[in-house]
Amino acid sequence: MTTDITRLSASELAASLADGTVSSVEATQAHLDRIAEVDGDLNAFLHVSAEEALATAADVDARRSAGDELGPLAGVPIAIKDVVVTKGLPTTAGSKILEGWIPPYDATLVERIKAAGLPILGKTNMDEFAMGSSTEHSAYGNTRNPWDLDRIPGGSGGGSAAAVAAFEAPLAIGTDTGGSIRQPGAVTGTVGAKPTYGGVSRYGLIAMASSLDQAGPVTRTVLDAALLHELIGGHDPRDSTSIPEALPRLADAARLGAAGDLKGLRVGVVKELSGEGYQEGVSARFAESLDTLRALGAEVVEVSCPHFTYALDAYYLIMPAEASSNLAKFDGMRFGLRVQPSEGPVTAERVMAATRGTGFGDEVKRRVILGTYALSAGYYDAYYGSAQKVRTLVQRDFAAAFDQADVLVSPTAPTTAFKFGEKLDDPLAMYLNDVATIPANLAGVPGVSVPNGLSDDGLPVGFQILAPAKADDRMYRVGAALEASLEKTWGGPLLAQAPELKTTELTR
Ligand code: GLN
């Protein structure tokens, strides 16, 4: 093979498919081969759907040769986080409690992916029910970071990020409740975008915290993220929180940004999301990226969002409260696992207790307990009620900041990828990974993480761009401008600097 198909970005691959240089069957097979070659070490996939993917690919190839009008990403393979339900394909949300469950329907975003002719390679690993920042809370083993196999790929969507970073898939779907698309993007050198809340249908996502959850693209370029966002986004009557309006023109905004002119754009640096607690190399790359934006004509100003300091605390009350309610449906009666009590009478309640006791991992139990407590009659006002007030204050901070700046920026995560086990016994240290990403979820605004270099430890770092609700086009414009400029200095994509995965030398 002259060019390695798996190294192409999704839009490059789409161009090769359109001009007939490559067929979708070839492209899909190349990615399946890559998965077979490296996933034994990475464990990015929980399920690989080779047969279905090749059948879709063959169908798209036939339609293309028949002269059918096809969408811009037709024939480009994709991986899907295992929290999104897929008809006929196992869906576990990273939990033992859903082991063996085969959904009878497709999520809206999966329907759209299928209708657009993207072969689905499989389902990706994740922290159980999307709770975590390292994918170490998966019931199906760790996913490894392709940059260093002893390190975490971020979480909860570590599987999607690792798959894209390791060239197992050009595109993937993630979900972001507090940062689970953006933080894995930052630590694996990939692009991760969380759309405006309501911009992509949540119908068919296994809910963690319904007022915070949002699905979005995981890719290797900003343009690819915009294209995938356009494909999965837009109004869905089956999700009552879906915005009944057309999306802004996202891919056009990315193309405009890549042309490199940010004249007149005001970039607000959020004072509370930098400085203390951020790794030196993370802060250094952040400062350099601000210079890059200035060189492109942007005006960089500092803004203050004083209540962001309390965002993490509010999140860790609201999220578990909603999760404790959403996870009540896993009762051993309706889905997946059912465990009989080991002794004593078999009542519905005791089966439920045995099932949940066996089926849920420690982090899920911790959050269900925390959420139930925060919602209990005696403590509701003190905890859940106060957290909701803080949420309003965070939203007001955003509104005030967006009066002063068109986009807000920060490092995506305070550190680069850490080693397995480093934060596993310290939930608070784990939660701090999301300190910069959580405010966006509380306010429903969109955000993207764009790779902006390597820290002193040689590991990738991400630059976060936040835009006002329904102005997702802005983050793609700025992200593409930054990416184009940085890639010029690197002489190509950052991922080209990642070490080759030498699969033969490694054992799982
Ligand atoms: N890491 C955060 C948490 O554990 C965010 C998770 C997510 O976005 N799904 O809650």
Map out the domains of the chain as residue ranges: 2-254+264-308+392-497
Give me the pLDDT at residue 188, please: 98
For ligand 1, the distance from its centroid to the CA atom of residue 431, given in whole angstroms, is 8
Query: What is the DSSP-derived secondary structure letter of residue 381?
Result: I
Which residue in the list 95, 133, 138, 180 is annotated as catalytic? 180
Three-state DSSP string of 303-327: ECCHHHHHHHHHHHHHHHHHHHHHH
Q: 274 an active-site residue?
A: no
Q: Identify the H or E element spanning 61.
A: helix 50-65
pTM assigned to the model:
0.97
Per the CB < 8 A criterion, the answer to whether 103 and 146 are in contact is no
**pLDDT above 80 (res 406):** yes
- Give the position, in ligand 1's atom list, of the atom nearest the Cα of 208: 9
**pLDDT above 70 (res 352):** yes
For ligand 1, the distance from its centroid to the CA atom of residue 179, given in whole angstroms, is 6
3-state helix, strand, coil in the chain (%, to 5): 45, 15, 40
Q: Which residues of 233-333 form beta strands (DSSP E)?
A: 266-270, 299-303
**pLDDT above 60 (res 508):** no
CA 457 – CA 315 distance, rounded (Å): 30
For ligand 1, the distance from its centroid to the CA atom of residue 296, given in whole angstroms, is 33
Give me the pLDDT at residue 261, please: 87
For 425-464, the pLDDT digits (tens) are 999 999 999 999 999 999 999 999 999 999 999 999 999 9
- Give the position, in ligand 1's atom list, of the atom nearest the Cα of 209: 9
Sequence letter at residue 228 = L
Q: Looking at the domain that runs over 2-254+264-308+392-497, which CATH code has it been given? A: 3.90.1300.10
Give me the pLDDT at residue 46, please: 98
Q: 180 an active-site residue?
A: yes
For 35-84, the pLDDT digits (tens) are 999 999 999 999 999 999 999 999 999 999 999 999 999 999 999 999 99
**Pocket (CB within 6 angstroms of ligand 1):** 130-133, 155-156, 176-180, 208, 319, 434
